[in-house]
Each structure stands twice: as structure tokens, then as C-alpha cells.
Chains A and B, each alone.
Chain A
Amino acid sequence: MGLNRRAWLRRAAGWGCAPLVAACSPPRPLGNPDPDAAPIARPVVDIGYRFLRPAEVAFVDAAVSRLIPADELGPGAAEAGVTVFIDRQLDGAYGKAVDWYMQAPFGHGSEQQGYQLPARPAELYRAAIRGIDDHCRGTFGNRVFARLDAHEQDALLHALEDGDSDVPAAHGKSFFKMLWQNTQEGYFADPMYGGNRGFAGWRLVGFPGPRYNYVAEIRQWGQPYGEPPVGVLGRDWRRRQPGMT
């Protein structure tokens, strides 16, 4: 009990005392504009990265390519834009844990008590990636994770998932869980968030996207639906937006 945020941040990756995400600010007064009331999420303009640094982009590209690889079934997570998705999520309310209860003290609880680290998601990514790459350099002849071969990467991801203490990265198990969750989110979320590019995730499984009306089709038991995927912003919204690719 009693581990405070600053101590955790120092311990996690030897950063000195400069947290990378703005320190905890009190929740906004209730009367302020409610971001949830915005009529529509702002679509991601996928040029460059806002939170991830180049070495972190390389790590996330490599890791999500192992979690959901490109193969004969279709694009993998990296090709579908999941790295951009994760970058924007970490740069936004999720990465900063705006909605989370982040008051001290931070105790070590049981599995049933859930996430108790003082790190917000963006902080956990930064610390964990640095820790994993440091470990890889020391163990694999000065190569970072992104430079390992696929078998080595898979073995390391399994070690993180299992909480293997041979990987002295900051809270590898919690990080793996978050990374895998975010990878699936990016692969299957509406493309306006930067992932699921070309509806890669939805095409893989056969989800036609959010549609309004299946009154006739619901009774056609066992028949394929057949219409191609469409997103909240339509099918070709990228072409209509200035600055979109």
C-alpha cells in the first residue's frame, strides 16, 4: 500500500521526475462542456503520430503484427491502422484516464479488485515499451523488440502475457492485457478512429457495419446478408475529408 504515482513513475522506467502526461487534475466541474455530448466523434486524420515516439511506433507496429498478423485472410492489425488508433487513444481521454478514479493510495490488490497501478494507459505504454526494449537489447544482442524475428517476438509476448518475471519490464502482464485489448479495439472499431482501415476487421468476420434497418432481412434465416461494410461516416468518407489519405 501507499505507493504514490511519482514513485511509481520513477521506479517504472527511471525517468527522473518528469511525468509524461499532465499530472492529475481535479475532475472538471459538472457544468463544463461535456465531450460525450458532442454529436459525433472527430474522425482521425492519420498523418503522423501525436503521442507515440518513433521507437514506440516501431514497437507497437511489430507487436500488433504478431497479435493480429497479415495473412491470406486479410490485412493484419498494423496494415489496418491499429498503431494510429492506439496513438490517438493514448493521446486522448483514454490515455490520460480522464474518467478513471486515480486518487491515492495505490494498493496491491487481488486480481478480483482490478487495475490498481498509478499509471494511466499512456504512461503504462511509455514505461513498458521502454522496459521491454531495454530487456531485448540486453538479451538479444542489442536488438530492440521490433528487430527480433517473429518467433522471438512471440516468445516475448507470451512471457509478458504470463507475467514471466524474466522480463523486467514495468508491469508486463498489465501492459500486455491493455495492448491486446486496444489492438482488438482498433481492429474492430469504426474506421473513423484510425484503425479497421478499409473495414479490414469487419470484412474478416463478416460484420456489415452499423446499419439502420434489418426488418426484412431478420426473417431470412440462414441467408447471407451480402451488403459490403459501411461505417458511421459512410463508406468513402476519407476521400471527402481534406487531409485524409
Chain B
Amino acid sequence: MTTRLPEVEVVLVGFGWTAAIMGHELASAGLKVLALERGPWRETVPQFATTHVQDELRYAVRHALFEKPARETLTFRNSPDQAALPMRHLGSFFPAAGVGGAGVHWNGQTWRFLPTDFRIRTHTEQRYGKRFIPEGMTIQDWGVTYDDLEPCYDRFEYLCGISGQAGNVQGTVQPGGNPFEGPRARGYPLPPLARSFGTVKFDAAAREAGFRPFPCPAANTSQAYRNPLGVQMGVCTFCGYCEWFACGNYSKSSPQTTILPVLLQNPNFSYRTECDVTRVLVDKAAKRATGVVYVDGQGREIEQPAQLVILCAFAQHNVHLMLLSGIGTPYDPQAGTGVIGRNYAYQITSSVDVFQDDITNPYMGAGALGQAIDEFNGDNFDHGPEGFVGGGYIALWTTGGRPILQQADVPEGTPKWGAEWKRARAENYQRVLKIATHGSVMSYRDAYLDLDPTYRDVYGNPLLRMTFDFHDNEHRMSRFLTDKAALIAHEMRPRSIKKNYRDGHYSIVPYQTTHNTGGAAMGDDPKTSAVNRYLQSWDVPNVFVLGSSVFPQNAGYNPTGTVGALAFWAADAIKQRYRPNPGPLVEA
């Protein structure tokens, strides 16, 4: 029996980065907002205390902060002719459960996408011709431009207290920054982090190789910071436990460290934890949402009516909810029709291990302490001779030296276990440097999300089914990036290097990145996008969809900067456009 509660103005599904931003923006504008989070309450004290959070086994290996596949997972296959099977334990990516979402356990690598990323189809066709885009690649323009989002990027960066060196302020290239970035109105709020020995060596080697390295923008504070909401952060101490851990030091930007202390005092805002939303309720014509249904911590089914429903869950969960709720037309890969589930994408990563002789103290690190080059990202270089679309950055990150999973690389030819392996680990833990490549993944007709016909979640709902593989375009692009990374590796004058190309089929098993995107793409055309340029559902105008689920394809940068910017962008649209005149903000 379903309990029906009194209506609220706005319900947010999930309580991570996007819900915290949206909650603050809308509650501050006078709307009554309720956030529903499937996971537990989490706060810096006591859950993240440094007296216990620096535990690699519990957090990085046993996944204490992440969603539990026993409750919710997806099925996976590489191609539509395979039978999908469940992801029985986490592997390739780590969605969070709990207040703060993945904003609790991220590294803090906070980038802007390039101006050309937002108009990739138009730009690629103009520069290289229509035939440059291969058959089956379904990339599209976003419907927003970099210039639209610039003030929103700025707000997110100042909310977080990003440490970095601007590369382009109002069109003037700045020394020491990323010369390829889009123009920004002003510099970062904090100077770059102190450098680790690894990043110093990378910087010198990259210059030797003829590139222009710069410090990576970091949501780890290089100095104490007070953000525009008045929330204070402490300086990062380089403890080396960022990614997959929560920060106990108030020095990694998260909803907890930047918004919640203010938001939770706002009488217009409330939240409920351990409330798992299973449906968005829509009227008979599927034109208007009337609220959501969730299962609470006692297993009771609750109906929460709402005037406006904003999906702020992790990328594929937003799509899952839309498919289960009948919002929009499900994508049909055979016919090429429908939009919900269309254009799922990911990122393609590779690395070059550099075995050199200096002691690097890798455990002194921070999640976004890195040095990068951007010569081969986006369309920063001539793709004509290469024949592929996309690119990525090449970076050396010093995120930590946690010894189960980090600094475990040994030179080529080392046995996989036994005495020689032991000796190689002893010799190389302090000395191996890893240069990473972080490549874009385009969208394709045969990469999509739909409902699984066989497997069900804990509530009896069909699991989401992911059909995804790397395509030739991405393999060639990633190989290109890896070879460029090797040029920098050689300049470090190493004993040896090891190139770890990302070849073959995509695998759900080894961790790669939690940069899952798409499935509810944004755009200008309701035939190819699930939401319009304001992140509003074309079909159900009182539903908005946030997060990387709206990316029409993925870029060669970590997504959180863009996810945060889009949250401000959508919040502005709701406050300034939707609220005075509820209805479609763009005519279909």
C-alpha cells in the first residue's frame, strides 16, 4: 500500500553535486525543495575522520562508499548480438550511494570542456568535411555553447575553490596555464597546488619534448578558502587519500565542504536519506509528471507528489528512471529512432609507466595534483592526417601511493608473482611514474542503454542494460595519445618504459573511470535528444535531467566541471524562464 504525502514544489532525485547546487539555487529563490537520496547521510564528522578514512582496503578495494550491486546494478554486453550479463560486483566504474554522491569520493580533477567540444559535429564538418565523421558515429552539438556556460563554469570553480593557473583570461593567453583552454572571465580562485617530484619531472620532460605543460585544475585547496556562500575550507595536506575516499580535512570540494552547511539551514530545503526513487509518476498522456514513488528505509512505498521533478542521480540511473517511468521514447538502435538510452559514451584511458631511479615519495599526493599537456585534446591539433575524431589530455598525476592498487607497476618481463615480482615491487614502488592519457569517446548508433529482458533489481524492476564497446576511432585516437605520452616518458631518461595501450574490447572488469555519459542527451532536436538546451525533457516539460547523462558524447576531460556548470545553467533556466511561465522552454 502506497502512502501519499503532501505535494512539494520541487523534488530532486538524488543528493550529490547537482542536487546540492540545484537545491541551493532553487531554495534560495523561494521554492520549496525536497531531495531524496537512496543512500545514507554522510558528513565530514564523524564519517570521514582522518582517524579511519585512510583505509585502502575498506574504501578503495571493498568499495565502502559506492553503490552496492546487490541492490542495484546493470547488465552489460559489448554488442547487440550478445546476451547481456549482470555486473555482479563493481569494476570499470564506481557510482556512489549516499549524500554528496560521487562528489564525496572523487579526485577533484575539475576541467572545462573546449569551445569546439560543444559544437563538435558542426565544427568537424566545417573543418574536415562531412565524410570525416564515420558511419555509425552519432555525435551532435550540445545546444549550448562554451560562451553560454562560461559564467556557470566560473560559479562552480569559485564554489569549489579550484586551485589552478589560468591559461586564457578574456582572450589573453597566460604564461604557465593551459594555452588551449577557452577564454575565462577571470583566473582560478586559488593558485596551483605545490608540485610533487613526479609532476616536476613530467613538466621538465614535456618541455623537452616541445609541449606546453601546466598544473591541472584541482578541487583540492592550495590555501585556506572561503567560498561565495561563506563556507570555509582548509588547506590540503597531501595525505594521498582522495579518490574513492572521503576527505576528513575539509580540503577537497564536495557538497559537504562547499554547500551543505548553508543549504541545510535554508527552511525551504529538506531532504530524506535511504529513499530509493523507483518511478517518476506521469499523467496518462505522459506529458506531465505528478511526482515520484520511492521506497523508504523501512521498505514502505511512498508517493511524493511534486510540481517539478529534477533527476539528479548518477548518469545511467537517470536514464534507468526515465525508461522505467515512460518519459520520452526509448531508443531503438535498429530503426535509429527514439532518444532515451541513445548515445551512451565513456572515456578511453591508457598509460605509459616510466621506470626511473629517483625516489618520488608517491604517497605524498592529492587527487588532482597533476601536470598536463593539452596539445592533443579536442580539436587542438590537425586531425586531418590522423583520420579520427576526438582527443585527450596527457598528464602525470600524483594522487597517492596506496600500496594495494597504486605504484604496483613492474617492468616488462617481470613474473606476475613470486620472488622476482616481490623484488620488482620493492624496487619500483618509489620509482615508477605513470603518465596517463584521458581520451574522449564519441557516441555511436550501437552504444546505448535500455531495459534488460532477464535480470531484475531488488524491487523487481528490470535492470538497465548497457551495450557498449570501443570503436576503431577511439582505439586509434588512444594509441596516438599513448605514443605521444611515450615521447614525454623518453625525455625522463628512464631505465625502461612500458606502454599500456587500451586495445581490444571494452571490459566491465578493470577500473577505468567513472566518467559514464549519455543516454539522455541534450540538443536542439527532439528526434536526437532527450532534453533541450536547458536540460528540460522535450516530452515531459516539468522534468529536468542533470549530470553527465545529458552529454551527447564524451570529451577528453573529467566531466565534473561541466556537470557543475550545467547544473547552474539549468537552475538559472528554471528560476528565470520556467518559473514565471511553466511549460516547454524551447518549442519542439
* Chain A residues close to B by CB (< 8 Å): 1, 26-27, 29-32, 34, 36-37, 39-41, 66-69, 71, 73, 76, 93-94, 97-103, 105, 107, 109-116, 154, 157, 161, 180, 184-185, 188-190, 193, 201-202, 204-208, 210-215, 217-219, 221-225, 232
Binary per-residue interface labels of chain B (70-88) against chain A in the complex, 1 for a CB within 8 Å, 0 otherwise: 1101001110001111111
B-side contacts of A41, CB under 8 Å: 52, 55, 58
**How many Å lie between the Cα of A170 and that of B506 in the bound state?**
27
The 5 closest A-B pairs by CB, nearest first: A31-B297, A210-B54, A205-B429, A214-B364, A189-B57
CB distance from B463 to the nearest CB of A (A): 8
Please tell me which one of the listed residues B76, B235, B419, B507 contacts residue A215 in the complex, with CB atoms under 8 A apart. Answer: B235
CB distance from B102 to the nearest CB of A (A): 16
Would you call B70 and A102 a contact (CB within 8 A)? yes
A-side contacts of B557, CB under 8 Å: none
A-side contacts of B295, CB under 8 Å: 30
CB distance from A98 to the nearest CB of B (A): 7
CB distance from B1 to the nearest CB of A (A): 17
Closest to A210 in B: B54
Closest to B426 in A: A204
A-side contacts of B126, CB under 8 Å: none
CB distance from B331 to the nearest CB of A (A): 22
CB distance from A89 to the nearest CB of B (A): 9
Please tell me which one of the listed residues B52, B196, B358 contacts residue A40 in the complex, with CB atoms under 8 A apart. Answer: B52
Binary per-residue interface labels of chain B (432-465) against chain A in the complex, 1 for a CB within 8 Å, 0 otherwise: 0000000000000000000000111010000000
* Chain B residues close to A by CB (< 8 Å): 38, 40, 46-47, 49-52, 54-58, 61-65, 68-71, 73, 76-78, 82-89, 91, 194-197, 200, 235, 237-241, 249, 274-276, 295-299, 358-361, 363-364, 401-404, 407-408, 416-419, 421-423, 425-426, 429-430, 454-456, 458, 505-509
**How many Å lie between the Cα of A214 and that of B364 in the bound state?**
6
Would you call B506 and A99 a contact (CB within 8 A)? no
CB distance from A37 to the nearest CB of B (A): 6
10 A-B contacts (beta carbon < 8 Å): A31-B298, A36-B40, A36-B64, A37-B40, A73-B426, A101-B88, A103-B455, A205-B429, A211-B363, A223-B361
Contacts A99-B89, A202-B403, A232-B54 supplied; 18 other A-B pairs, CB < 8 Å: A27-B68, A27-B458, A30-B275, A30-B295, A31-B298, A36-B40, A68-B422, A69-B418, A102-B88, A110-B82, A111-B509, A113-B76, A113-B85, A114-B509, A116-B85, A215-B237, A218-B196, A222-B359
Would you call B403 and A217 a contact (CB within 8 A)? no
Q: A205-B407, A205-B426, A207-B429 are in contact. Are A232 and B55 (CB under 8 A)?
A: yes
**How many Å lie between the Cα of A103 and that of B70 in the bound state?**
8
Would you call A100 and B429 a contact (CB within 8 A)? no
Would you call B403 and A107 a contact (CB within 8 A)? no
CB distance from A111 to the nearest CB of B (A): 7
CB distance from A71 to the nearest CB of B (A): 6
Would you call B456 and A184 a contact (CB within 8 A)? no
**How many Å lie between the Cα of A212 and that of B421 in the bound state?**
30
**How many Å lie between the Cα of A71 and that of B84 in the bound state?**
46
Closest to B276 in A: A30
Please tell me which one of the listed residues B55, B402, B419 contacts residue A69 in the complex, with CB atoms under 8 A apart. Answer: B419
Closest to B403 in A: A188
Q: A212-B237, A218-B196, A218-B238 are in contact. Are A114 and B297 (CB under 8 A)?
A: no
Interface of A is mostly: loop
CB distance from B527 to the nearest CB of A (A): 32
A-side contacts of B361, CB under 8 Å: 214, 217-218, 223-225
Q: A208-B363, A214-B364 are in contact. Are A68 and B417 (CB under 8 A)?
A: yes
Please tell me which one of the listed residues A40, A68, A219 contacts residue B51 in the complex, with CB atoms under 8 A apart. Answer: A40
CB distance from A124 to the nearest CB of B (A): 13
CB distance from A190 to the nearest CB of B (A): 6
Would you call B194 and A101 a contact (CB within 8 A)? no
B-side contacts of A99, CB under 8 Å: 62-63, 68-70, 89
**How many Å lie between the Cα of A55 and that of B58 in the bound state?**
28
A-side contacts of B296, CB under 8 Å: 30-31
CB distance from A56 to the nearest CB of B (A): 20
**How many Å lie between the Cα of A69 and that of B422 in the bound state?**
8
Would you call A205 and B404 a contact (CB within 8 A)? no
Please tell me which one of the listed residues B235, B299, B423 contacts residue A29 in the complex, with CB atoms under 8 A apart. Answer: B299
A-side contacts of B47, CB under 8 Å: 37, 39
B-side contacts of A188, CB under 8 Å: 56, 403-404
Q: A27-B70, A31-B296 are in contact. Are A205 and B403 (CB under 8 A)?
A: yes
B-side contacts of A215, CB under 8 Å: 194, 235, 237-238
**How many Å lie between the Cα of A114 and that of B52 in the bound state?**
31
B-side contacts of A211, CB under 8 Å: 239, 363
Would you call B274 and A30 a contact (CB within 8 A)? yes
Closest to A121 in B: B89
CB distance from A228 to the nearest CB of B (A): 14
CB distance from A76 to the nearest CB of B (A): 8
CB distance from B250 to the nearest CB of A (A): 13
A-side contacts of B78, CB under 8 Å: 110, 112
CB distance from B203 to the nearest CB of A (A): 12
Closest to B455 in A: A103
Would you call A101 and B238 a contact (CB within 8 A)? no
Would you call B91 and A114 a contact (CB within 8 A)? yes
